[in-house]
Amino acid sequence: MGAPHKMVEQKSRLTAEEAKGLRTAKELEGHLAWLDTFTPAALGVLAIASGIYTYLGVSSLLEDNGAVSFFAAVAYSIAVSVGIFVFWSYMLRLLPSMRSAGGFIGLTISTMVGSLAIIAMSSWLNAAALAGSAAVEQHLENTVRDYQSALEQAHDIALSGQALGREVERARQSFEELAELEQSGSLSGTAGRGAVFRVLTQKSEELRNLEEQISSQQPLIEEAFEDGNQILARMRELTVAPGPVDRRSVQFSEESVKLAGVLSQLNQYSVASLVVRAAEDLPASVVLPELDGRNSEVRDAQSATIGSVLDALDQRSRTLKNAAEEVLEMEPPIETAYNPISSADAVIRYANNFVPSWAGAIAIDLLPAVLVFVLAITQAAIRSGRDGMSIEDTLTLADLKAAISAMKDVEITMGAADAAIQERMSGAEPDKSDAS
Protein backbone atom coordinates (compact mmCIF):
# COMPACT_ATOMS: atom_id res chain seq x y z
CA MET A 1 0.00 0.00 0.00
CA GLY A 2 3.05 2.29 0.15
CA ALA A 3 3.16 2.80 -3.61
CA PRO A 4 -0.46 4.01 -3.89
CA HIS A 5 0.09 6.44 -1.04
CA LYS A 6 3.16 7.76 -2.84
CA MET A 7 1.12 8.25 -6.01
CA VAL A 8 -1.49 10.21 -4.09
CA GLU A 9 1.20 12.41 -2.61
CA GLN A 10 2.69 13.11 -6.09
CA LYS A 11 -0.76 13.80 -7.47
CA SER A 12 -1.45 16.34 -4.78
CA ARG A 13 1.60 18.26 -5.90
CA LEU A 14 -0.11 19.22 -9.26
CA THR A 15 -0.77 22.90 -9.76
CA ALA A 16 -4.30 24.17 -10.21
CA GLU A 17 -3.66 24.91 -13.89
CA GLU A 18 -2.27 21.44 -14.52
CA ALA A 19 -5.21 19.88 -12.73
CA LYS A 20 -7.62 21.92 -14.85
CA GLY A 21 -5.88 20.88 -18.06
CA LEU A 22 -5.97 17.26 -16.97
CA ARG A 23 -9.69 17.43 -16.23
CA THR A 24 -10.29 19.06 -19.62
CA ALA A 25 -8.31 16.33 -21.37
CA LYS A 26 -10.28 13.62 -19.57
CA GLU A 27 -13.56 15.30 -20.46
CA LEU A 28 -12.60 15.62 -24.13
CA GLU A 29 -11.53 12.00 -24.25
CA GLY A 30 -14.93 11.00 -22.93
CA HIS A 31 -16.67 13.05 -25.62
CA LEU A 32 -14.51 11.52 -28.33
CA ALA A 33 -15.22 8.03 -27.06
CA TRP A 34 -18.97 8.72 -27.36
CA LEU A 35 -18.65 10.39 -30.78
CA ASP A 36 -16.63 7.44 -32.13
CA THR A 37 -19.67 5.22 -31.64
CA PHE A 38 -21.57 6.77 -34.56
CA THR A 39 -18.98 8.71 -36.59
CA PRO A 40 -18.27 5.81 -39.02
CA ALA A 41 -22.01 5.33 -39.60
CA ALA A 42 -22.50 9.04 -40.25
CA LEU A 43 -19.56 9.05 -42.65
CA GLY A 44 -21.05 6.06 -44.43
CA VAL A 45 -24.41 7.84 -44.81
CA LEU A 46 -22.70 10.89 -46.34
CA ALA A 47 -20.72 8.67 -48.73
CA ILE A 48 -23.85 6.78 -49.82
CA ALA A 49 -25.80 10.01 -50.34
CA SER A 50 -23.00 11.40 -52.48
CA GLY A 51 -22.93 8.14 -54.45
CA ILE A 52 -26.67 8.36 -55.15
CA TYR A 53 -26.43 11.88 -56.52
CA THR A 54 -23.32 10.90 -58.45
CA TYR A 55 -25.34 8.08 -60.05
CA LEU A 56 -28.03 10.55 -61.10
CA GLY A 57 -25.40 12.88 -62.56
CA VAL A 58 -23.66 10.08 -64.47
CA SER A 59 -26.99 8.81 -65.80
CA SER A 60 -27.72 12.23 -67.28
CA LEU A 61 -24.45 12.06 -69.22
CA LEU A 62 -24.94 8.60 -70.68
CA GLU A 63 -26.94 8.65 -73.89
CA ASP A 64 -27.76 4.94 -73.81
CA ASN A 65 -30.32 3.79 -71.25
CA GLY A 66 -29.51 0.09 -71.56
CA ALA A 67 -28.22 -2.37 -68.98
CA VAL A 68 -24.55 -1.61 -69.69
CA SER A 69 -25.04 2.10 -69.03
CA PHE A 70 -27.00 1.31 -65.84
CA PHE A 71 -24.26 -0.93 -64.45
CA ALA A 72 -21.59 1.57 -65.51
CA ALA A 73 -23.35 4.35 -63.60
CA VAL A 74 -23.86 2.09 -60.56
CA ALA A 75 -20.20 1.00 -60.60
CA TYR A 76 -19.01 4.59 -60.79
CA SER A 77 -21.28 5.74 -57.96
CA ILE A 78 -20.19 2.80 -55.74
CA ALA A 79 -16.55 3.59 -56.44
CA VAL A 80 -17.17 7.22 -55.46
CA SER A 81 -18.92 6.20 -52.22
CA VAL A 82 -16.16 3.79 -51.26
CA GLY A 83 -13.46 6.29 -52.15
CA ILE A 84 -15.05 9.05 -50.07
CA PHE A 85 -15.56 6.74 -47.08
CA VAL A 86 -12.02 5.33 -47.16
CA PHE A 87 -10.35 8.69 -47.75
CA TRP A 88 -12.10 10.47 -44.89
CA SER A 89 -11.66 7.46 -42.61
CA TYR A 90 -7.91 7.72 -43.18
CA MET A 91 -7.92 11.42 -42.52
CA LEU A 92 -10.09 11.18 -39.38
CA ARG A 93 -7.67 8.69 -37.85
CA LEU A 94 -4.27 9.87 -39.05
CA LEU A 95 -4.26 13.65 -39.27
CA PRO A 96 -5.44 14.37 -35.66
CA SER A 97 -2.81 11.93 -34.37
CA MET A 98 0.10 13.74 -35.99
CA ARG A 99 2.38 15.38 -33.39
CA SER A 100 5.08 16.80 -35.66
CA ALA A 101 4.52 19.95 -37.71
CA GLY A 102 5.88 18.26 -40.83
CA GLY A 103 3.48 15.36 -40.56
CA PHE A 104 0.52 17.63 -39.86
CA ILE A 105 1.32 19.90 -42.83
CA GLY A 106 1.87 16.92 -45.12
CA LEU A 107 -1.46 15.32 -44.24
CA THR A 108 -3.20 18.71 -44.52
CA ILE A 109 -1.89 19.05 -48.07
CA SER A 110 -3.02 15.49 -48.76
CA THR A 111 -6.46 16.41 -47.45
CA MET A 112 -6.65 19.39 -49.83
CA VAL A 113 -5.51 17.31 -52.80
CA GLY A 114 -8.02 14.59 -51.95
CA SER A 115 -10.78 17.18 -51.60
CA LEU A 116 -10.04 18.52 -55.07
CA ALA A 117 -10.12 14.96 -56.43
CA ILE A 118 -13.51 14.37 -54.78
CA ILE A 119 -14.86 17.59 -56.30
CA ALA A 120 -13.57 16.52 -59.72
CA MET A 121 -15.05 13.02 -59.60
CA SER A 122 -18.22 13.60 -57.63
CA SER A 123 -19.25 17.13 -56.64
CA TRP A 124 -19.90 18.46 -60.15
CA LEU A 125 -22.02 15.39 -60.88
CA ASN A 126 -23.91 15.97 -57.64
CA ALA A 127 -24.54 19.55 -58.77
CA ALA A 128 -25.76 18.22 -62.12
CA ALA A 129 -28.23 15.98 -60.30
CA LEU A 130 -29.38 18.80 -58.01
CA ALA A 131 -29.71 21.58 -60.58
CA GLY A 132 -29.20 19.95 -63.98
CA SER A 133 -32.73 20.49 -65.28
CA ALA A 134 -32.81 24.08 -64.02
CA ALA A 135 -29.45 24.77 -65.66
CA VAL A 136 -30.67 23.42 -69.01
CA GLU A 137 -33.78 25.60 -68.67
CA GLN A 138 -31.48 28.54 -68.00
CA HIS A 139 -29.66 27.72 -71.23
CA LEU A 140 -32.97 27.65 -73.10
CA GLU A 141 -33.97 30.98 -71.58
CA ASN A 142 -30.68 32.62 -72.55
CA THR A 143 -31.03 31.26 -76.08
CA VAL A 144 -34.56 32.72 -76.32
CA ARG A 145 -33.20 36.06 -75.14
CA ASP A 146 -30.49 35.97 -77.83
CA TYR A 147 -33.02 35.08 -80.50
CA GLN A 148 -35.31 37.87 -79.30
CA SER A 149 -32.49 40.39 -79.62
CA ALA A 150 -31.52 39.10 -83.07
CA LEU A 151 -35.14 39.22 -84.28
CA GLU A 152 -35.66 42.79 -83.07
CA GLN A 153 -32.37 43.91 -84.57
CA ALA A 154 -33.14 42.32 -87.95
CA HIS A 155 -36.58 43.92 -87.86
CA ASP A 156 -35.08 47.36 -87.08
CA ILE A 157 -32.66 47.05 -89.99
CA ALA A 158 -35.45 46.04 -92.33
CA LEU A 159 -37.59 48.99 -91.19
CA SER A 160 -34.64 51.34 -91.64
CA GLY A 161 -34.43 50.09 -95.22
CA GLN A 162 -38.13 50.77 -95.64
CA ALA A 163 -37.53 54.33 -94.45
CA LEU A 164 -35.44 54.84 -97.59
CA GLY A 165 -38.73 54.73 -99.48
CA ARG A 166 -39.46 58.27 -98.27
CA GLU A 167 -36.18 59.51 -99.75
CA VAL A 168 -37.03 57.82 -103.04
CA GLU A 169 -40.51 59.35 -102.93
CA ARG A 170 -39.09 62.84 -102.41
CA ALA A 171 -36.73 62.40 -105.36
CA ARG A 172 -39.58 61.13 -107.55
CA GLN A 173 -41.84 64.01 -106.61
CA SER A 174 -39.13 66.56 -107.34
CA PHE A 175 -38.60 65.16 -110.83
CA GLU A 176 -42.34 65.00 -111.46
CA GLU A 177 -42.63 68.65 -110.47
CA LEU A 178 -39.79 69.53 -112.79
CA ALA A 179 -41.54 67.60 -115.56
CA GLU A 180 -44.72 69.60 -114.97
CA LEU A 181 -42.73 72.83 -115.10
CA GLU A 182 -41.10 71.74 -118.33
CA GLN A 183 -44.47 70.81 -119.78
CA SER A 184 -45.77 74.28 -118.99
CA GLY A 185 -42.66 75.92 -120.42
CA SER A 186 -41.41 77.31 -117.11
CA LEU A 187 -38.19 75.27 -117.11
CA SER A 188 -36.47 75.44 -120.48
CA GLY A 189 -38.72 78.17 -121.86
CA THR A 190 -40.41 75.85 -124.32
CA ALA A 191 -43.78 74.35 -123.40
CA GLY A 192 -44.58 70.77 -124.32
CA ARG A 193 -43.21 67.31 -123.88
CA GLY A 194 -39.85 67.64 -125.49
CA ALA A 195 -36.43 66.15 -124.73
CA VAL A 196 -36.15 67.59 -121.23
CA PHE A 197 -39.63 66.39 -120.32
CA ARG A 198 -38.80 62.87 -121.49
CA VAL A 199 -35.58 62.75 -119.39
CA LEU A 200 -37.46 63.90 -116.30
CA THR A 201 -40.28 61.45 -116.93
CA GLN A 202 -37.83 58.62 -117.48
CA LYS A 203 -36.17 59.17 -114.07
CA SER A 204 -39.53 59.65 -112.37
CA GLU A 205 -40.67 56.25 -113.64
CA GLU A 206 -37.44 54.60 -112.45
CA LEU A 207 -37.87 56.09 -109.00
CA ARG A 208 -41.55 55.11 -108.95
CA ASN A 209 -40.63 51.49 -109.72
CA LEU A 210 -38.04 51.54 -106.95
CA GLU A 211 -40.58 53.02 -104.56
CA GLU A 212 -43.07 50.28 -105.39
CA GLN A 213 -40.46 47.60 -104.80
CA ILE A 214 -39.68 49.08 -101.40
CA SER A 215 -43.34 49.37 -100.40
CA SER A 216 -44.02 45.78 -101.51
CA GLN A 217 -41.52 44.57 -98.89
CA GLN A 218 -43.40 46.15 -95.99
CA PRO A 219 -46.10 43.46 -95.55
CA LEU A 220 -43.50 40.71 -95.96
CA ILE A 221 -41.37 42.25 -93.19
CA GLU A 222 -44.34 42.57 -90.84
CA GLU A 223 -45.46 39.02 -91.58
CA ALA A 224 -41.97 37.62 -90.93
CA PHE A 225 -41.68 39.61 -87.69
CA GLU A 226 -45.03 38.31 -86.50
CA ASP A 227 -44.06 34.72 -87.35
CA GLY A 228 -40.81 35.19 -85.44
CA ASN A 229 -42.64 36.45 -82.36
CA GLN A 230 -45.02 33.49 -82.49
CA ILE A 231 -42.08 31.08 -82.63
CA LEU A 232 -40.44 32.89 -79.72
CA ALA A 233 -43.65 32.54 -77.72
CA ARG A 234 -43.63 28.77 -78.27
CA MET A 235 -39.96 28.62 -77.30
CA ARG A 236 -40.68 30.50 -74.06
CA GLU A 237 -43.47 28.05 -73.27
CA LEU A 238 -41.08 25.13 -73.78
CA THR A 239 -38.61 26.77 -71.40
CA VAL A 240 -41.00 26.63 -68.44
CA ALA A 241 -43.30 23.80 -69.51
CA PRO A 242 -43.63 20.73 -67.26
CA GLY A 243 -42.08 17.43 -68.22
CA PRO A 244 -38.55 16.15 -68.89
CA VAL A 245 -36.26 18.87 -70.12
CA ASP A 246 -34.66 16.52 -72.69
CA ARG A 247 -37.90 16.21 -74.65
CA ARG A 248 -38.52 19.93 -74.44
CA SER A 249 -35.01 20.55 -75.74
CA VAL A 250 -35.78 18.55 -78.88
CA GLN A 251 -38.90 20.62 -79.58
CA PHE A 252 -36.97 23.77 -78.73
CA SER A 253 -34.34 22.85 -81.30
CA GLU A 254 -37.01 22.40 -83.98
CA GLU A 255 -38.46 25.83 -83.23
CA SER A 256 -35.01 27.41 -83.30
CA VAL A 257 -34.47 26.11 -86.84
CA LYS A 258 -37.73 27.76 -87.91
CA LEU A 259 -36.75 31.02 -86.26
CA ALA A 260 -33.36 30.97 -87.97
CA GLY A 261 -35.22 30.82 -91.29
CA VAL A 262 -37.35 33.83 -90.31
CA LEU A 263 -34.22 35.80 -89.40
CA SER A 264 -32.71 34.93 -92.77
CA GLN A 265 -35.85 36.17 -94.52
CA LEU A 266 -35.80 39.46 -92.61
CA ASN A 267 -32.19 40.00 -93.61
CA GLN A 268 -33.12 39.43 -97.24
CA TYR A 269 -36.07 41.83 -97.06
CA SER A 270 -33.77 44.79 -96.36
CA VAL A 271 -33.80 47.02 -99.45
CA ALA A 272 -30.69 49.05 -98.57
CA SER A 273 -28.46 47.24 -101.07
CA LEU A 274 -31.17 47.61 -103.74
CA VAL A 275 -31.35 51.37 -103.15
CA VAL A 276 -27.54 51.65 -103.37
CA ARG A 277 -27.52 49.99 -106.80
CA ALA A 278 -30.47 52.06 -107.98
CA ALA A 279 -28.78 55.27 -106.79
CA GLU A 280 -25.62 54.40 -108.69
CA ASP A 281 -27.63 53.66 -111.84
CA LEU A 282 -29.76 56.80 -111.59
CA PRO A 283 -27.34 59.23 -113.29
CA ALA A 284 -25.51 56.55 -115.27
CA SER A 285 -28.57 55.15 -117.06
CA VAL A 286 -29.80 58.40 -118.60
CA VAL A 287 -30.77 58.01 -122.23
CA LEU A 288 -30.32 61.45 -123.72
CA PRO A 289 -32.96 62.09 -126.34
CA GLU A 290 -32.34 64.05 -129.51
CA LEU A 291 -32.91 67.74 -128.99
CA ASP A 292 -36.11 68.70 -130.77
CA GLY A 293 -36.08 72.47 -130.50
CA ARG A 294 -37.32 74.52 -133.45
CA ASN A 295 -34.14 76.60 -133.60
CA SER A 296 -30.68 76.69 -132.12
CA GLU A 297 -31.69 78.91 -129.20
CA VAL A 298 -34.36 76.48 -128.10
CA ARG A 299 -31.96 73.55 -128.50
CA ASP A 300 -29.30 75.39 -126.49
CA ALA A 301 -31.88 76.01 -123.76
CA GLN A 302 -32.85 72.35 -123.83
CA SER A 303 -29.20 71.27 -123.60
CA ALA A 304 -28.56 73.55 -120.64
CA THR A 305 -31.68 72.33 -118.89
CA ILE A 306 -30.72 68.69 -119.46
CA GLY A 307 -27.29 69.44 -117.94
CA SER A 308 -28.99 70.89 -114.89
CA VAL A 309 -31.22 67.84 -114.71
CA LEU A 310 -28.17 65.58 -114.83
CA ASP A 311 -26.58 67.57 -112.01
CA ALA A 312 -29.78 67.19 -109.99
CA LEU A 313 -29.77 63.46 -110.73
CA ASP A 314 -26.20 63.17 -109.53
CA GLN A 315 -27.01 65.04 -106.32
CA ARG A 316 -30.10 62.94 -105.64
CA SER A 317 -28.07 59.82 -106.39
CA ARG A 318 -25.45 60.71 -103.79
CA THR A 319 -28.15 61.51 -101.23
CA LEU A 320 -29.92 58.19 -101.73
CA LYS A 321 -26.65 56.25 -101.74
CA ASN A 322 -25.45 57.85 -98.50
CA ALA A 323 -28.76 57.12 -96.79
CA ALA A 324 -28.71 53.49 -97.97
CA GLU A 325 -25.09 53.02 -96.89
CA GLU A 326 -25.97 54.22 -93.41
CA VAL A 327 -28.49 51.39 -93.22
CA LEU A 328 -25.93 48.90 -94.54
CA GLU A 329 -23.44 50.05 -91.90
CA MET A 330 -25.85 49.22 -89.09
CA GLU A 331 -24.58 46.42 -86.88
CA PRO A 332 -26.04 43.16 -88.19
CA PRO A 333 -27.87 40.78 -85.84
CA ILE A 334 -25.69 38.50 -83.79
CA GLU A 335 -25.63 35.06 -85.34
CA THR A 336 -27.59 32.96 -82.89
CA ALA A 337 -27.89 29.19 -82.96
CA TYR A 338 -29.23 26.80 -80.36
CA ASN A 339 -26.67 24.21 -79.29
CA PRO A 340 -28.11 21.37 -77.17
CA ILE A 341 -26.27 20.97 -73.87
CA SER A 342 -26.20 18.27 -71.21
CA SER A 343 -27.25 18.99 -67.65
CA ALA A 344 -23.68 18.57 -66.37
CA ASP A 345 -22.27 21.01 -68.93
CA ALA A 346 -25.11 23.43 -68.22
CA VAL A 347 -24.38 23.38 -64.48
CA ILE A 348 -20.74 24.23 -65.17
CA ARG A 349 -21.53 26.94 -67.73
CA TYR A 350 -24.11 28.64 -65.52
CA ALA A 351 -22.43 27.91 -62.19
CA ASN A 352 -22.88 31.51 -61.03
CA ASN A 353 -26.65 31.10 -61.22
CA PHE A 354 -26.67 27.95 -59.08
CA VAL A 355 -24.33 28.76 -56.22
CA PRO A 356 -26.60 27.12 -53.55
CA SER A 357 -26.72 23.87 -55.53
CA TRP A 358 -22.95 23.88 -55.98
CA ALA A 359 -22.50 24.63 -52.28
CA GLY A 360 -24.73 21.70 -51.32
CA ALA A 361 -23.04 19.35 -53.79
CA ILE A 362 -19.57 20.21 -52.47
CA ALA A 363 -20.63 20.28 -48.81
CA ILE A 364 -21.99 16.73 -48.89
CA ASP A 365 -18.54 15.55 -50.02
CA LEU A 366 -16.29 17.85 -47.99
CA LEU A 367 -18.21 18.08 -44.71
CA PRO A 368 -15.94 15.36 -43.20
CA ALA A 369 -13.01 17.76 -43.70
CA VAL A 370 -14.54 19.95 -41.01
CA LEU A 371 -14.76 16.92 -38.73
CA VAL A 372 -11.10 16.13 -39.42
CA PHE A 373 -9.93 19.56 -38.32
CA VAL A 374 -12.30 19.60 -35.34
CA LEU A 375 -10.86 16.27 -34.23
CA ALA A 376 -7.31 17.53 -34.81
CA ILE A 377 -7.97 20.59 -32.63
CA THR A 378 -9.53 18.40 -29.92
CA GLN A 379 -6.62 15.97 -29.91
CA ALA A 380 -4.19 18.88 -29.69
CA ALA A 381 -6.12 20.17 -26.65
CA ILE A 382 -5.98 16.73 -25.04
CA ARG A 383 -2.24 16.49 -25.60
CA SER A 384 -1.79 19.99 -24.27
CA GLY A 385 -3.60 19.03 -21.06
CA ARG A 386 -1.43 15.91 -20.57
CA ASP A 387 1.97 17.10 -21.79
CA GLY A 388 4.68 17.40 -19.09
CA MET A 389 2.97 15.01 -16.70
CA SER A 390 4.14 11.58 -15.66
CA ILE A 391 1.88 8.59 -15.72
CA GLU A 392 1.37 8.88 -11.97
CA ASP A 393 0.15 12.47 -12.37
CA THR A 394 -2.48 11.51 -14.88
CA LEU A 395 -3.95 8.66 -12.83
CA THR A 396 -7.46 9.28 -11.61
CA LEU A 397 -9.08 7.60 -8.61
CA ALA A 398 -10.75 5.12 -10.93
CA ASP A 399 -7.41 4.37 -12.58
CA LEU A 400 -5.84 3.91 -9.13
CA LYS A 401 -8.57 1.48 -8.07
CA ALA A 402 -8.14 -0.45 -11.28
CA ALA A 403 -4.37 -0.59 -10.78
CA ILE A 404 -4.74 -1.84 -7.20
CA SER A 405 -7.23 -4.45 -8.32
CA ALA A 406 -4.88 -5.57 -11.07
CA MET A 407 -1.97 -5.79 -8.62
CA LYS A 408 -4.08 -7.93 -6.29
CA ASP A 409 -4.96 -10.22 -9.19
CA VAL A 410 -1.28 -10.52 -10.07
CA GLU A 411 -0.34 -11.26 -6.46
CA ILE A 412 -3.05 -13.94 -6.21
CA THR A 413 -1.97 -15.50 -9.48
CA MET A 414 1.71 -15.47 -8.50
CA GLY A 415 0.85 -16.93 -5.04
CA ALA A 416 -1.08 -19.76 -6.65
CA ALA A 417 1.87 -20.43 -8.96
CA ASP A 418 4.33 -20.51 -6.04
CA ALA A 419 2.07 -22.90 -4.15
CA ALA A 420 1.91 -25.22 -7.12
CA ILE A 421 5.67 -25.19 -7.47
CA GLN A 422 6.15 -25.91 -3.76
CA GLU A 423 3.66 -28.75 -3.96
CA ARG A 424 5.49 -30.30 -6.86
CA MET A 425 8.81 -29.96 -5.14
CA SER A 426 7.51 -31.50 -1.91
CA GLY A 427 5.99 -34.39 -3.82
CA ALA A 428 9.23 -35.15 -5.61
CA GLU A 429 11.53 -35.49 -2.47
CA PRO A 430 10.01 -38.77 -1.09
CA ASP A 431 10.58 -40.46 -4.42
CA LYS A 432 14.31 -39.71 -4.22
CA SER A 433 14.59 -41.23 -0.65
CA ASP A 434 12.82 -44.39 -1.72
CA ALA A 435 15.16 -44.80 -4.63
CA SER A 436 18.15 -44.58 -2.35
| pLDDT of the residue at 86 | 92
The pLDDT of residue 194: 60
Q: What is the pLDDT of residue 112?
A: 92
What's residue 399's pLDDT? 63
Report the pLDDT value the prediction gives residue 79, as an integer from 0 to 100.
92
Would you state the pLDDT for residue 161? 82
Q: Residues 328, 286: contact at Cβ < 8 Å?
A: no
Low-confidence ranges of the chain (pLDDT < 70): 1-23, 25, 63-65, 181-197, 282-310, 312, 385-400, 427-436
